[in-house]
Structure 1
Amino acid sequence: MKTLESLISINLDYIILGLIVVFFTLEQVLGTQFKFNRRLHHLSHNFLMYAVLFVLNLFWAGVVVFTVNWFTEHQLGLLYLVEIPLWVTFLLGIAVYDLSSYWFHRAAHFLPLVWRFHRVHHSDTTMDSTTFLRGHPLETMFWFGFSSIVASAVFGLDLKTLGIYYLILIPMLFLEHANFKYPKWLDKTLGLIITTPNLHKVHHEQDEYYTNSNYADIFIFWDRLFGTFKHKPVEDITFGLQEFNAPEKQTFWYLIISPFLNIKRIPSEGKNK
Protein backbone atom coordinates (compact mmCIF):
# COMPACT_ATOMS: atom_id res chain seq x y z
CA MET A 1 0.00 0.00 0.00
CA LYS A 2 2.89 2.37 0.76
CA THR A 3 4.30 1.71 -2.72
CA LEU A 4 0.93 2.53 -4.24
CA GLU A 5 0.65 5.72 -2.22
CA SER A 6 4.15 6.72 -3.33
CA LEU A 7 3.19 6.23 -6.98
CA ILE A 8 -0.01 8.21 -6.57
CA SER A 9 1.89 11.06 -4.94
CA ILE A 10 4.08 11.55 -8.03
CA ASN A 11 3.14 14.70 -9.92
CA LEU A 12 1.32 13.64 -13.09
CA ASP A 13 3.11 16.34 -15.06
CA TYR A 14 6.44 14.61 -14.35
CA ILE A 15 4.96 11.32 -15.55
CA ILE A 16 3.65 12.93 -18.74
CA LEU A 17 7.00 14.61 -19.50
CA GLY A 18 8.80 11.31 -18.96
CA LEU A 19 6.36 9.45 -21.22
CA ILE A 20 6.78 12.07 -23.96
CA VAL A 21 10.53 11.45 -23.99
CA VAL A 22 10.20 7.65 -23.85
CA PHE A 23 7.54 7.28 -26.54
CA PHE A 24 8.95 9.88 -28.91
CA THR A 25 12.36 8.19 -28.67
CA LEU A 26 10.92 4.70 -29.24
CA GLU A 27 9.03 5.94 -32.27
CA GLN A 28 12.36 6.96 -33.82
CA VAL A 29 14.05 3.60 -33.34
CA LEU A 30 11.26 1.01 -33.63
CA GLY A 31 9.16 -0.01 -36.60
CA THR A 32 6.24 2.38 -37.08
CA GLN A 33 2.83 1.98 -38.69
CA PHE A 34 3.42 4.81 -41.14
CA LYS A 35 5.99 7.48 -41.98
CA PHE A 36 5.64 11.22 -41.84
CA ASN A 37 8.06 14.12 -41.91
CA ARG A 38 8.73 17.06 -39.58
CA ARG A 39 8.28 15.06 -36.41
CA LEU A 40 9.84 17.76 -34.19
CA HIS A 41 7.54 20.36 -35.75
CA HIS A 42 4.58 18.10 -35.00
CA LEU A 43 5.80 17.60 -31.42
CA SER A 44 6.30 21.30 -30.77
CA HIS A 45 2.78 22.33 -31.80
CA ASN A 46 1.18 19.52 -29.81
CA PHE A 47 3.39 20.18 -26.78
CA LEU A 48 2.31 23.83 -26.69
CA MET A 49 -1.25 22.58 -26.08
CA TYR A 50 -0.04 20.70 -23.04
CA ALA A 51 1.98 23.71 -21.84
CA VAL A 52 -1.14 25.90 -21.81
CA LEU A 53 -3.08 23.16 -20.03
CA PHE A 54 -0.35 22.95 -17.39
CA VAL A 55 -0.75 26.67 -16.60
CA LEU A 56 -4.54 26.44 -16.43
CA ASN A 57 -4.35 23.38 -14.18
CA LEU A 58 -2.37 25.30 -11.57
CA PHE A 59 -5.79 26.57 -10.49
CA TRP A 60 -8.25 23.99 -11.85
CA ALA A 61 -6.56 20.91 -10.38
CA GLY A 62 -6.94 22.45 -6.93
CA VAL A 63 -10.67 22.91 -7.54
CA VAL A 64 -11.08 19.25 -8.55
CA VAL A 65 -9.08 18.00 -5.55
CA PHE A 66 -11.04 20.21 -3.13
CA THR A 67 -14.39 19.07 -4.58
CA VAL A 68 -13.59 15.35 -4.53
CA ASN A 69 -12.26 15.68 -0.99
CA TRP A 70 -15.46 17.43 0.09
CA PHE A 71 -17.55 14.53 -1.27
CA THR A 72 -15.29 12.07 0.58
CA GLU A 73 -15.48 13.93 3.88
CA HIS A 74 -19.28 14.01 3.67
CA GLN A 75 -19.41 10.37 2.49
CA LEU A 76 -21.55 11.14 -0.51
CA GLY A 77 -22.01 8.45 -3.15
CA LEU A 78 -23.45 4.99 -3.71
CA LEU A 79 -20.39 3.03 -2.55
CA TYR A 80 -20.82 4.41 0.97
CA LEU A 81 -24.09 2.48 1.20
CA VAL A 82 -22.35 -0.92 1.08
CA GLU A 83 -19.22 -2.46 2.58
CA ILE A 84 -16.85 -3.90 0.00
CA PRO A 85 -13.12 -4.74 0.08
CA LEU A 86 -10.71 -1.96 -0.79
CA TRP A 87 -9.39 -3.67 -3.93
CA VAL A 88 -12.95 -4.04 -5.23
CA THR A 89 -13.48 -0.33 -4.62
CA PHE A 90 -10.38 0.44 -6.70
CA LEU A 91 -11.50 -1.81 -9.57
CA LEU A 92 -15.02 -0.40 -9.55
CA GLY A 93 -13.62 3.11 -9.27
CA ILE A 94 -11.44 2.72 -12.36
CA ALA A 95 -14.40 1.31 -14.31
CA VAL A 96 -16.72 4.09 -13.11
CA TYR A 97 -14.27 6.87 -13.95
CA ASP A 98 -13.83 5.34 -17.39
CA LEU A 99 -17.60 5.07 -17.87
CA SER A 100 -18.02 8.72 -16.90
CA SER A 101 -15.33 9.73 -19.40
CA TYR A 102 -17.02 7.59 -22.08
CA TRP A 103 -20.26 9.56 -21.80
CA PHE A 104 -18.49 12.93 -21.68
CA HIS A 105 -16.53 11.89 -24.77
CA ARG A 106 -19.65 10.72 -26.60
CA ALA A 107 -21.45 13.96 -25.79
CA ALA A 108 -18.49 15.95 -27.15
CA HIS A 109 -19.19 14.51 -30.61
CA PHE A 110 -22.85 15.48 -30.70
CA LEU A 111 -23.08 18.77 -28.79
CA PRO A 112 -22.09 21.42 -31.37
CA LEU A 113 -20.51 23.82 -28.90
CA VAL A 114 -18.40 21.11 -27.25
CA TRP A 115 -17.44 19.63 -30.63
CA ARG A 116 -15.89 22.98 -31.59
CA PHE A 117 -13.29 22.32 -28.88
CA HIS A 118 -13.07 18.54 -29.20
CA ARG A 119 -12.38 18.65 -32.94
CA VAL A 120 -8.95 20.07 -32.12
CA HIS A 121 -7.92 16.60 -30.98
CA HIS A 122 -9.35 15.02 -34.13
CA SER A 123 -7.70 17.57 -36.40
CA ASP A 124 -4.34 15.75 -36.46
CA THR A 125 -3.79 14.43 -39.99
CA THR A 126 -0.92 12.26 -38.79
CA MET A 127 -0.63 10.33 -35.57
CA ASP A 128 2.05 9.60 -33.03
CA SER A 129 2.23 9.57 -29.24
CA THR A 130 2.15 13.38 -29.08
CA THR A 131 -1.34 13.37 -30.63
CA PHE A 132 -2.49 12.57 -27.09
CA LEU A 133 -1.34 16.08 -26.14
CA ARG A 134 -3.36 17.70 -28.93
CA GLY A 135 -6.49 18.66 -27.10
CA HIS A 136 -7.78 22.18 -26.67
CA PRO A 137 -6.66 23.15 -23.13
CA LEU A 138 -10.11 24.41 -22.13
CA GLU A 139 -11.80 21.20 -23.23
CA THR A 140 -9.20 18.92 -21.65
CA MET A 141 -9.32 20.82 -18.38
CA PHE A 142 -13.10 20.72 -18.02
CA TRP A 143 -13.61 17.26 -19.51
CA PHE A 144 -11.31 15.42 -17.14
CA GLY A 145 -12.24 17.67 -14.25
CA PHE A 146 -16.00 17.37 -14.52
CA SER A 147 -16.03 13.69 -15.46
CA SER A 148 -13.95 12.99 -12.33
CA ILE A 149 -16.17 15.17 -10.15
CA VAL A 150 -19.39 13.58 -11.44
CA ALA A 151 -18.09 10.04 -10.94
CA SER A 152 -16.88 10.90 -7.43
CA ALA A 153 -20.18 12.54 -6.47
CA VAL A 154 -22.41 9.74 -7.74
CA PHE A 155 -20.38 6.75 -6.60
CA GLY A 156 -18.37 8.11 -3.66
CA LEU A 157 -14.84 7.69 -5.03
CA ASP A 158 -11.91 9.31 -3.26
CA LEU A 159 -8.68 10.93 -4.47
CA LYS A 160 -6.68 7.72 -4.03
CA THR A 161 -8.94 5.91 -6.50
CA LEU A 162 -8.75 8.88 -8.86
CA GLY A 163 -4.96 8.80 -8.61
CA ILE A 164 -4.86 5.08 -9.52
CA TYR A 165 -7.16 5.75 -12.47
CA TYR A 166 -4.83 8.41 -13.88
CA LEU A 167 -1.75 6.22 -13.30
CA ILE A 168 -3.37 3.65 -15.61
CA LEU A 169 -5.04 6.08 -18.00
CA ILE A 170 -2.11 8.34 -18.97
CA PRO A 171 0.27 5.58 -20.21
CA MET A 172 -2.65 3.95 -22.04
CA LEU A 173 -3.46 7.18 -23.87
CA PHE A 174 0.14 7.45 -25.02
CA LEU A 175 0.05 3.82 -26.21
CA GLU A 176 -3.26 4.30 -28.03
CA HIS A 177 -1.89 7.18 -30.09
CA ALA A 178 1.69 5.95 -30.54
CA ASN A 179 2.93 5.28 -34.06
CA PHE A 180 3.86 1.63 -33.47
CA LYS A 181 2.97 -1.55 -35.32
CA TYR A 182 0.65 -3.68 -33.21
CA PRO A 183 -0.23 -7.33 -33.97
CA LYS A 184 -3.80 -7.90 -35.13
CA TRP A 185 -4.32 -10.71 -32.61
CA LEU A 186 -4.17 -8.06 -29.89
CA ASP A 187 -7.48 -6.63 -31.08
CA LYS A 188 -9.12 -10.07 -31.12
CA THR A 189 -8.06 -10.92 -27.56
CA LEU A 190 -7.46 -7.93 -25.28
CA GLY A 191 -9.60 -5.90 -27.67
CA LEU A 192 -12.68 -7.66 -26.35
CA ILE A 193 -12.27 -5.74 -23.09
CA ILE A 194 -9.48 -3.17 -23.41
CA THR A 195 -9.21 -0.27 -25.86
CA THR A 196 -6.22 -1.40 -27.93
CA PRO A 197 -4.25 1.17 -29.99
CA ASN A 198 -5.62 -0.07 -33.31
CA LEU A 199 -9.19 0.16 -32.02
CA HIS A 200 -8.63 3.72 -30.80
CA LYS A 201 -7.14 4.73 -34.14
CA VAL A 202 -10.49 3.85 -35.73
CA HIS A 203 -11.90 6.72 -33.66
CA HIS A 204 -9.49 9.08 -35.48
CA GLU A 205 -10.65 7.99 -38.94
CA GLN A 206 -11.63 10.95 -41.13
CA ASP A 207 -14.86 9.20 -42.15
CA GLU A 208 -17.47 10.43 -39.66
CA TYR A 209 -19.07 6.99 -39.57
CA TYR A 210 -15.98 5.75 -37.71
CA THR A 211 -15.15 9.01 -35.90
CA ASN A 212 -18.35 8.56 -33.91
CA SER A 213 -17.28 5.25 -32.41
CA ASN A 214 -14.85 3.66 -29.93
CA TYR A 215 -15.14 6.44 -27.35
CA ALA A 216 -13.80 4.53 -24.32
CA ASP A 217 -10.37 5.36 -22.94
CA ILE A 218 -9.58 2.11 -21.10
CA PHE A 219 -12.44 -0.40 -21.42
CA ILE A 220 -13.72 -0.88 -24.98
CA PHE A 221 -16.57 -2.98 -23.61
CA TRP A 222 -18.43 0.29 -22.90
CA ASP A 223 -18.60 0.78 -26.67
CA ARG A 224 -19.61 -2.83 -27.21
CA LEU A 225 -22.30 -2.50 -24.52
CA PHE A 226 -23.75 0.79 -25.76
CA GLY A 227 -23.53 0.03 -29.49
CA THR A 228 -20.75 2.43 -30.48
CA PHE A 229 -18.07 -0.13 -31.32
CA LYS A 230 -16.69 -0.24 -34.87
CA HIS A 231 -13.67 -1.84 -36.49
CA LYS A 232 -11.58 -0.95 -39.52
CA PRO A 233 -8.13 -2.25 -40.54
CA VAL A 234 -5.62 0.29 -39.30
CA GLU A 235 -3.77 0.36 -42.63
CA ASP A 236 -6.95 1.69 -44.29
CA ILE A 237 -7.47 4.57 -41.88
CA THR A 238 -7.18 8.20 -43.01
CA PHE A 239 -6.53 10.40 -40.00
CA GLY A 240 -7.88 13.86 -39.24
CA LEU A 241 -10.74 16.06 -40.39
CA GLN A 242 -11.03 17.25 -43.99
CA GLU A 243 -11.67 20.83 -42.90
CA PHE A 244 -8.29 20.85 -41.12
CA ASN A 245 -6.22 19.25 -43.88
CA ALA A 246 -4.38 22.43 -44.92
CA PRO A 247 -0.91 22.80 -43.28
CA GLU A 248 -1.73 26.28 -41.97
CA LYS A 249 -4.63 24.73 -40.02
CA GLN A 250 -2.28 22.35 -38.21
CA THR A 251 -0.49 25.06 -36.24
CA PHE A 252 -0.82 25.72 -32.52
CA TRP A 253 -2.23 29.23 -32.94
CA TYR A 254 -4.87 28.22 -35.46
CA LEU A 255 -5.98 25.25 -33.33
CA ILE A 256 -6.22 27.43 -30.22
CA ILE A 257 -8.57 29.93 -31.89
CA SER A 258 -10.42 27.36 -34.04
CA PRO A 259 -13.29 26.75 -31.54
CA PHE A 260 -14.20 30.41 -31.92
CA LEU A 261 -14.23 30.26 -35.73
CA ASN A 262 -17.18 29.16 -37.84
CA ILE A 263 -15.55 26.17 -39.53
CA LYS A 264 -18.04 24.17 -41.54
CA ARG A 265 -17.64 20.43 -41.14
CA ILE A 266 -16.94 18.74 -44.47
CA PRO A 267 -19.02 15.55 -44.62
CA SER A 268 -17.46 12.26 -45.62
CA GLU A 269 -17.82 11.30 -49.26
CA GLY A 270 -18.96 7.82 -48.30
CA LYS A 271 -19.30 5.45 -45.38
CA ASN A 272 -16.89 2.56 -45.54
CA LYS A 273 -19.05 0.19 -43.50
Structure 2
Amino acid sequence: MIDSVVAFFENLTSLQKFIWIVGCLSVFWVLEGVYPLKKHQYNKWKHAKTNLVLLLSTMIINVVFGLLTVGVFNWIESSNFGLLNMVDWPVWIEIILAIMILDFTSQYVVHYLLHKVPFMWRFHTVHHSDTHVDVTSGTRHHPIDFIFRETFALIGVLIAGLPVAYYLMYRILTVLFTYFSHADISLPVKIDKAISYVFISPNTHKFHHHHVMPWTDTNFGNIFSFWDRIFGTFVYEDTKDIVYGVDILDAEKSDDIVYQLKAPFQKGLKSVPYNP
Protein backbone atom coordinates (compact mmCIF):
# COMPACT_ATOMS: atom_id res chain seq x y z
CA MET A 1 0.00 0.00 0.00
CA ILE A 2 2.65 2.52 1.02
CA ASP A 3 4.70 1.67 -2.08
CA SER A 4 1.68 2.48 -4.26
CA VAL A 5 1.31 5.86 -2.56
CA VAL A 6 5.01 6.64 -3.11
CA ALA A 7 4.73 5.60 -6.77
CA PHE A 8 1.69 7.87 -7.22
CA PHE A 9 3.56 10.91 -5.92
CA GLU A 10 6.66 10.08 -7.96
CA ASN A 11 4.54 10.43 -11.07
CA LEU A 12 2.42 13.40 -9.98
CA THR A 13 1.79 15.66 -12.96
CA SER A 14 1.64 19.45 -13.10
CA LEU A 15 -2.05 19.19 -14.04
CA GLN A 16 -2.78 17.11 -10.94
CA LYS A 17 -0.98 19.64 -8.74
CA PHE A 18 -2.94 22.49 -10.36
CA ILE A 19 -6.24 20.65 -9.81
CA TRP A 20 -5.30 20.16 -6.15
CA ILE A 21 -4.60 23.89 -5.71
CA VAL A 22 -7.86 24.92 -7.38
CA GLY A 23 -9.79 22.22 -5.50
CA CYS A 24 -8.49 23.30 -2.07
CA LEU A 25 -9.16 26.96 -2.85
CA SER A 26 -12.69 26.16 -4.02
CA VAL A 27 -13.64 23.98 -1.04
CA PHE A 28 -12.49 26.52 1.55
CA TRP A 29 -13.99 29.42 -0.47
CA VAL A 30 -17.39 27.71 -0.16
CA LEU A 31 -16.93 26.79 3.51
CA GLU A 32 -15.95 30.31 4.56
CA GLY A 33 -19.05 31.60 2.83
CA VAL A 34 -21.21 29.27 4.91
CA TYR A 35 -19.31 29.34 8.23
CA PRO A 36 -17.41 32.68 8.32
CA LEU A 37 -15.19 33.60 11.26
CA LYS A 38 -15.43 37.34 10.55
CA LYS A 39 -18.34 38.80 8.60
CA HIS A 40 -16.40 41.45 6.71
CA GLN A 41 -18.19 43.74 4.31
CA TYR A 42 -15.90 43.62 1.28
CA ASN A 43 -15.95 42.64 -2.37
CA LYS A 44 -14.72 39.06 -2.19
CA TRP A 45 -13.95 38.77 -5.91
CA LYS A 46 -12.07 42.10 -6.05
CA HIS A 47 -10.06 41.03 -3.02
CA ALA A 48 -9.34 37.64 -4.56
CA LYS A 49 -8.08 39.19 -7.82
CA THR A 50 -5.07 40.80 -6.12
CA ASN A 51 -4.15 37.61 -4.31
CA LEU A 52 -4.61 35.40 -7.36
CA VAL A 53 -2.38 37.68 -9.46
CA LEU A 54 0.31 37.16 -6.83
CA LEU A 55 -0.42 33.41 -6.96
CA LEU A 56 0.28 33.47 -10.71
CA SER A 57 3.65 35.14 -10.12
CA THR A 58 4.62 32.56 -7.50
CA MET A 59 3.57 29.69 -9.78
CA ILE A 60 5.96 31.02 -12.45
CA ILE A 61 8.76 31.18 -9.86
CA ASN A 62 7.81 27.66 -8.77
CA VAL A 63 8.42 26.39 -12.31
CA VAL A 64 11.97 27.82 -12.23
CA PHE A 65 12.69 26.31 -8.84
CA GLY A 66 11.14 23.05 -10.06
CA LEU A 67 13.88 22.83 -12.68
CA LEU A 68 16.53 23.48 -9.99
CA THR A 69 14.92 20.89 -7.75
CA VAL A 70 15.17 18.21 -10.45
CA GLY A 71 18.93 18.74 -10.53
CA VAL A 72 19.10 18.60 -6.72
CA PHE A 73 17.13 15.35 -6.60
CA ASN A 74 19.37 13.77 -9.25
CA TRP A 75 22.48 14.79 -7.28
CA ILE A 76 21.04 13.45 -4.00
CA GLU A 77 20.23 10.13 -5.67
CA SER A 78 23.71 9.76 -7.16
CA SER A 79 25.61 10.92 -4.05
CA ASN A 80 23.37 9.45 -1.31
CA PHE A 81 23.59 12.79 0.47
CA GLY A 82 21.29 13.72 3.36
CA LEU A 83 19.89 12.42 6.63
CA LEU A 84 17.47 9.89 5.15
CA ASN A 85 20.29 8.27 3.19
CA MET A 86 22.08 7.55 6.46
CA VAL A 87 19.28 5.38 7.83
CA ASP A 88 17.19 2.42 6.71
CA TRP A 89 13.84 3.00 8.40
CA PRO A 90 10.33 1.98 7.33
CA VAL A 91 9.03 4.17 4.52
CA TRP A 92 6.17 5.60 6.59
CA ILE A 93 8.62 6.81 9.26
CA GLU A 94 10.86 8.38 6.63
CA ILE A 95 7.86 10.18 5.10
CA ILE A 96 6.82 11.65 8.46
CA LEU A 97 10.41 12.70 9.19
CA ALA A 98 10.75 14.26 5.73
CA ILE A 99 7.57 16.29 6.17
CA MET A 100 8.70 17.45 9.62
CA ILE A 101 12.15 18.51 8.35
CA LEU A 102 10.66 20.45 5.44
CA ASP A 103 7.95 22.04 7.58
CA PHE A 104 10.62 23.21 10.02
CA THR A 105 13.17 24.53 7.51
CA SER A 106 11.00 25.81 4.67
CA GLN A 107 8.14 27.08 6.81
CA TYR A 108 8.92 27.80 10.46
CA VAL A 109 12.59 28.86 10.12
CA VAL A 110 12.22 30.95 6.98
CA HIS A 111 8.97 32.48 8.28
CA TYR A 112 10.69 33.45 11.52
CA LEU A 113 13.52 35.05 9.52
CA LEU A 114 11.03 36.86 7.27
CA HIS A 115 9.88 38.67 10.41
CA LYS A 116 13.25 39.20 12.06
CA VAL A 117 15.57 40.15 9.17
CA PRO A 118 14.68 43.71 8.07
CA PHE A 119 15.42 43.16 4.37
CA MET A 120 13.28 40.01 4.29
CA TRP A 121 10.50 41.62 6.34
CA ARG A 122 10.10 44.34 3.70
CA PHE A 123 8.82 41.76 1.21
CA HIS A 124 6.86 39.74 3.73
CA THR A 125 4.80 42.81 4.65
CA VAL A 126 2.81 42.27 1.45
CA HIS A 127 1.44 39.02 2.88
CA HIS A 128 0.50 40.80 6.10
CA SER A 129 -0.99 43.85 4.42
CA ASP A 130 -4.16 41.92 3.59
CA THR A 131 -6.98 43.55 5.57
CA HIS A 132 -9.49 40.78 4.79
CA VAL A 133 -7.82 37.45 5.49
CA ASP A 134 -9.51 34.55 3.73
CA VAL A 135 -8.50 31.45 1.78
CA THR A 136 -7.00 33.50 -1.07
CA SER A 137 -4.67 35.23 1.41
CA GLY A 138 -2.68 31.99 1.47
CA THR A 139 -1.61 32.76 -2.10
CA ARG A 140 -0.56 36.35 -1.29
CA HIS A 141 3.25 36.53 -1.44
CA HIS A 142 5.50 39.12 -3.02
CA PRO A 143 7.63 37.31 -5.66
CA ILE A 144 10.85 37.98 -3.71
CA ASP A 145 9.23 36.70 -0.50
CA PHE A 146 8.40 33.50 -2.38
CA ILE A 147 11.98 33.18 -3.64
CA PHE A 148 13.17 33.24 -0.02
CA ARG A 149 10.71 30.46 0.81
CA GLU A 150 11.66 28.29 -2.16
CA THR A 151 15.35 28.69 -1.36
CA PHE A 152 14.80 27.35 2.15
CA ALA A 153 12.72 24.51 0.71
CA LEU A 154 15.74 23.48 -1.38
CA ILE A 155 17.91 23.66 1.74
CA GLY A 156 15.43 21.38 3.51
CA VAL A 157 15.52 18.93 0.61
CA LEU A 158 19.33 18.81 0.79
CA ILE A 159 19.45 18.39 4.58
CA ALA A 160 16.96 15.54 4.48
CA GLY A 161 18.27 13.96 1.27
CA LEU A 162 14.72 13.57 0.02
CA PRO A 163 13.46 11.49 -2.87
CA VAL A 164 11.09 13.43 -5.10
CA ALA A 165 7.99 11.52 -3.92
CA TYR A 166 8.46 12.63 -0.31
CA TYR A 167 8.96 16.22 -1.41
CA LEU A 168 5.76 16.20 -3.48
CA MET A 169 3.83 14.70 -0.56
CA TYR A 170 5.00 17.63 1.52
CA ARG A 171 4.02 20.15 -1.18
CA ILE A 172 0.53 18.69 -1.43
CA LEU A 173 0.12 18.84 2.36
CA THR A 174 1.46 22.38 2.66
CA VAL A 175 -1.02 23.62 0.05
CA LEU A 176 -3.86 22.06 2.06
CA PHE A 177 -2.71 23.53 5.37
CA THR A 178 -1.96 26.95 3.87
CA TYR A 179 -5.52 27.31 2.61
CA PHE A 180 -7.02 25.68 5.71
CA SER A 181 -5.22 28.04 8.10
CA HIS A 182 -6.00 31.19 6.10
CA ALA A 183 -9.63 30.32 5.36
CA ASP A 184 -12.16 32.60 7.05
CA ILE A 185 -13.96 29.66 8.65
CA SER A 186 -15.43 29.37 12.11
CA LEU A 187 -14.77 26.05 13.82
CA PRO A 188 -16.11 25.35 17.32
CA VAL A 189 -13.42 26.70 19.68
CA LYS A 190 -12.95 23.31 21.37
CA ILE A 191 -12.28 21.64 18.01
CA ASP A 192 -9.98 24.43 16.81
CA LYS A 193 -7.99 24.32 20.07
CA ALA A 194 -7.74 20.53 19.91
CA ILE A 195 -6.35 20.77 16.36
CA SER A 196 -3.89 23.47 17.47
CA TYR A 197 -2.05 21.13 19.86
CA VAL A 198 -0.45 19.44 16.85
CA PHE A 199 -1.41 21.38 13.72
CA ILE A 200 -1.88 25.01 12.73
CA SER A 201 -5.64 25.61 12.96
CA PRO A 202 -7.60 28.46 11.32
CA ASN A 203 -7.82 30.43 14.58
CA THR A 204 -4.15 29.83 15.38
CA HIS A 205 -2.93 31.46 12.20
CA LYS A 206 -5.33 34.39 12.42
CA PHE A 207 -3.44 35.77 15.45
CA HIS A 208 -0.35 35.91 13.25
CA HIS A 209 -2.26 38.26 10.92
CA HIS A 210 -3.12 40.75 13.67
CA HIS A 211 -2.03 44.23 12.59
CA VAL A 212 0.39 45.00 15.43
CA MET A 213 2.91 43.30 17.68
CA PRO A 214 3.22 41.11 19.64
CA TRP A 215 0.77 38.74 17.91
CA THR A 216 2.28 39.47 14.49
CA ASP A 217 5.44 37.65 15.62
CA THR A 218 3.71 34.46 16.78
CA ASN A 219 2.41 31.23 15.25
CA PHE A 220 4.95 30.95 12.42
CA GLY A 221 4.19 27.30 11.60
CA ASN A 222 2.35 26.05 8.56
CA ILE A 223 1.56 22.37 9.17
CA PHE A 224 2.74 21.64 12.72
CA SER A 225 2.13 23.94 15.68
CA PHE A 226 4.63 22.24 17.98
CA TRP A 227 7.53 24.23 16.49
CA ASP A 228 5.89 27.37 17.90
CA ARG A 229 5.25 25.65 21.22
CA ILE A 230 8.87 24.43 21.46
CA PHE A 231 10.38 27.84 20.63
CA GLY A 232 7.93 29.95 22.64
CA THR A 233 6.21 31.66 19.71
CA PHE A 234 2.75 30.12 20.18
CA VAL A 235 -0.29 32.17 21.19
CA TYR A 236 -4.00 31.43 21.41
CA GLU A 237 -6.36 34.15 22.62
CA ASP A 238 -9.77 35.51 21.59
CA THR A 239 -10.27 35.89 17.83
CA LYS A 240 -12.65 38.80 18.45
CA ASP A 241 -9.60 40.93 19.27
CA ILE A 242 -7.94 40.35 15.89
CA VAL A 243 -7.63 43.23 13.43
CA TYR A 244 -6.10 42.25 10.08
CA GLY A 245 -3.42 44.18 8.23
CA VAL A 246 0.01 45.54 9.05
CA ASP A 247 0.79 48.82 10.78
CA ILE A 248 3.33 50.12 8.26
CA LEU A 249 1.46 49.96 4.95
CA ASP A 250 -1.58 51.83 3.69
CA ALA A 251 -4.62 49.72 4.60
CA GLU A 252 -6.67 51.51 1.93
CA LYS A 253 -4.40 50.01 -0.74
CA SER A 254 -4.63 46.41 0.43
CA ASP A 255 -6.09 45.37 -2.96
CA ASP A 256 -3.88 47.65 -5.09
CA ILE A 257 -1.54 45.20 -6.85
CA VAL A 258 0.87 47.89 -8.12
CA TYR A 259 1.18 49.41 -4.64
CA GLN A 260 1.76 45.99 -3.09
CA LEU A 261 4.54 45.11 -5.53
CA LYS A 262 6.28 48.47 -5.02
CA ALA A 263 5.74 48.79 -1.24
CA PRO A 264 8.82 46.78 -0.12
CA PHE A 265 11.06 49.27 -1.93
CA GLN A 266 9.82 52.28 0.05
CA LYS A 267 12.55 54.08 1.97
CA GLY A 268 12.40 53.84 5.75
CA LEU A 269 9.94 50.95 5.80
CA LYS A 270 9.97 49.36 9.25
CA SER A 271 7.51 48.14 11.82
CA VAL A 272 6.28 50.34 14.65
CA PRO A 273 7.72 49.03 17.95
CA TYR A 274 5.26 47.36 20.29
CA ASN A 275 4.65 49.28 23.52
CA PRO A 276 2.64 47.22 26.02
Distance 1:167 1:266 in 2: 33
Decide which of 126, 146, 165 is 1:120's aligned counterpart: 126
Structure 1 residue corresponding to 2:214, chosen from 205, 209, 212:
209
Identical aligned residues as a percent: 28
Residues 1:176 and 2:181 aligned together = yes
CA contact 2:213–2:274 (8 Å) conserved in 1: no
2:148 and 2:76 mapped to 1: Cα distance?
18
Provide runs of 4+ in structure 1 moved above 4 Å.
none
Which of 205, 229, 234 pairs up with 2:234?
A: 229
Distance verdict in 2 for CA 1:3–1:266, change over 3 Å: closer
Matched, 1:129 2:135: yes
Contact 1:244 1:250 in 2 (8 A): no
Aligned match of 2:200: 195
Show the counterpart of 1:157.
Answer: 162
Residues 65-92 of structure 1, C-alpha deviations (whole Å, 9 max, x = no match): 3213312321101222221111110010
Following TM superposition, by how much is the alpha carbon of 1:61 offset from its aligned partner in structure 2, in angstroms? 1.7
Match of 1:33 in 2: 37
Alignment of 1:46-125 (within 5 A): 46-100=51-105, 101-125=107-131
Once the 2 structures are TM-superposed, how far is the Cα of residue 13 of structure 1 from its aligned partner?
A: 2.7
Partner residue, 1:252: 257
Deviates more, 1:248-257 or 1:108-117: 248-257
1:49–1:133 CA contact under 8 A, matched in 2: yes
Number of aligned residues: 269
Distance 1:120 1:161 in 2: 30
Change (3 A) 1:240 1:133: same
| Alpha-carbon offset, residue 268 of structure 1 | 5.9
CA gap 1:194/1:249 in 2 versus in 1, 3 angstroms: closer
Structure 1: gaps spanning 5 or more residues: none
Q: SS of the counterpart of 1:189?
A: helix
User: Structure 2 regions of 5+ residues with no counterpart?
Assistant: none
Mapped to 2, the partners of 1:268 and 1:40 lie a distance apart of 34
- Whole-Å separation in 2 of the counterparts to 1:189 and 1:211: 22
Partner in structure 2 of residue 6 of structure 1: 8
What is the alpha-carbon distance in structure 1 between the residues aligned to residue 8 and residue 238 of structure 2?
A: 40
Q: TM-score, normalised by structure 2?
A: 0.90
